[in-house]
Structure 1
Amino acid sequence: MKVIGLTGSIGMGKSTTAAMFREAGVPVYDADAAVHDLYDEGGAAVGPVGEAFPGVVKGGRVDREELRKRVLGDPQALKRLNAIVHPLVGQDRVSFFQAAEAMGADLVVLDIPLLFETGGHERVDYVVVASAPPEMQRERVLARPGMTPDRLDAILAQQTPDAEKRARAHFLVDTGKGLEHARGQVLHIIAALRASAG
């Protein structure tokens, strides 16, 4: 089973690309969705995150916006948070691999926003980067509710630059040329990886 790490900076179309792999029948592990579950009521991260960051747990779940304010621009706080969350996500990922293996999957995708930043690229066989022109990225992100240019710049400052991600990728999916173009690239990547296994 080949493991594909899918990443891309904010607003680059990574989630759309992940959905295209899923539509093509490739199991996709969504790290963000796993974190959402961990932060939700009854989630395994609620207690430890609440202890490490008093006041961020509201109504039995982690208030993501409150937590974001606490860690944005504070590398030590982010490190503390990652030390809690990453092992829990790791356990969840093991269950995903077991299920994919049981169904005979030959490829799986790990959709991980901070693949390079967390060293995750060392634990996958191939890296796929979703990318688009910077002006398109800004336009997409600034259209999101509550997003400001300053907040976007703060997020980008914590992410590996797009040019570096592109340089380190095995495959690129250009989401700036429309959905059909991107879908064609995804299908090409799947075909190429399956052909190399033959």
Structure 2
Amino acid sequence: MLILGLTGSIGMGKSTTAKLFVEAGVPVYDADATVHRIYQGEAVPAIEAAFPGSTVDGKVDRTRLSAKVVHDPAAMRKLETIVHPMLRAYHQKFLDDAERSGAPIAVVDVPLLYETGGEKRVDAVVVVTTSPKIQRERILARDNMTAEKLDAILARQLPDAEKRRRADFVVDTSHGLDPVRARIRDILDQAAKMPARRQA
């Protein structure tokens, strides 16, 4: 089974692209959704112990937790040591299930794929992109988003141009869904002929 890593900066249309891979019959692992799940379940006791006051009603309050870790690299590393082993277990189960189902290709949707060295754990990388103008319009239309917050998020992400340079495949979401669907069909055709190259 070939594993495609799906990534892209905030506001590029990655979630929509992931849904279109699902529509095309490809199993997709959603890292963000898994974080949401463990923040309502098994990660709660350890996070509350490490960051007192970061949970409410038995769930992690992402705003409170973010305030405690976002400007503190040591706190962020501490959080990662709690969360990453749990995420890896879900990730591995997804891959095992996809392999057992006989899927020729699976997609792992990971926002910070390059930033965390995740490209070594996939066979090819799909980067989702759009114009800077459309990106900013999409993000600033979101609830609770400000220009300052957007700049802070972008500062933690590898620049779009660098992601595109490193990508095996690029999907441009600037022109609606049909071109994206066509591009996904094209990617799946090409990926089916690629050799496996993941290192882990």
User: Which residue of the other structure, out of 158, 163, 166, is the alignment partner of 2:164?
Assistant: 166
How far apart in 2 are the matches of 1:170 and 1:31?
20
Partner of 1:146, secondary structure, is: coil
Deviations 1:52-107 (A, max 9, x none): 11111110000011112222232222222112111110001111111111110010
Partner of 2:170, secondary structure, is: strand
Aligned to 1:12: 12
User: Which residue of the other structure, out of 36, 61, 77, is the alignment partner of 1:79?
Assistant: 77
TM-score with structure 1 length normalisation?
0.95
How many equivalent residue pairs?
A: 195
CA contact (8 A) 1:12 1:131 kept: yes
CA contact (8 A) 1:166 1:172 kept: yes
How far apart in 1 are the matches of 2:111 and 2:118?
10
CA contact (8 A) 2:5 2:126 kept: yes
Aligned to 1:189: 187
Partner of 1:177, secondary structure, is: coil
CA contact (8 A) 2:126 2:171 kept: yes
Stretch moving more, 104-113 or 76-85: 76-85
- Report the RMSD for the aligned CA atoms in angstroms: 1.1
Aligned to 2:198: none
How far is 1:167 from its partner? 0.7
How far is 1:196 from its partner? 4.1
How far apart in 1 are the matches of 2:51 and 2:112?
22
How far apart in 1 are the matches of 2:22 and 2:67?
32
User: Which residue of the other structure, out of 67, 70, 75, is the alignment partner of 1:69?
Assistant: 67
TM-score with structure 2 length normalisation?
0.94
Is residue 62 of structure 2 the alignment partner of residue 47 of structure 1? no
Aligned to 1:26: 26
How far apart in 1 are the matches of 2:96 and 2:132?
38
How far is 1:193 from its partner? 1.3
Q: Name the amino acid aligned to 1:23.
A: E
How far apart in 1 are the matches of 2:79 and 2:137?
30
Q: How does 1:49-128 map to 2 (within 5 A)?
A: 49-128=47-126
How far apart in 2 are the matches of 1:7 and 1:157?
16
Q: Percent identity?
A: 53
Deviations 1:17-44 (A, max 9, x none): 100111000000000111100001xx11
Q: Name the amino acid aligned to 1:11.
A: G
How far is 1:177 from its partner? 1.6
The runs of 4+ residues in structure 1 deviating greater than 3 Å are none
How far apart in 1 are the matches of 2:27 and 2:188?
12
Q: Name the amino acid aligned to 1:29.
A: Y
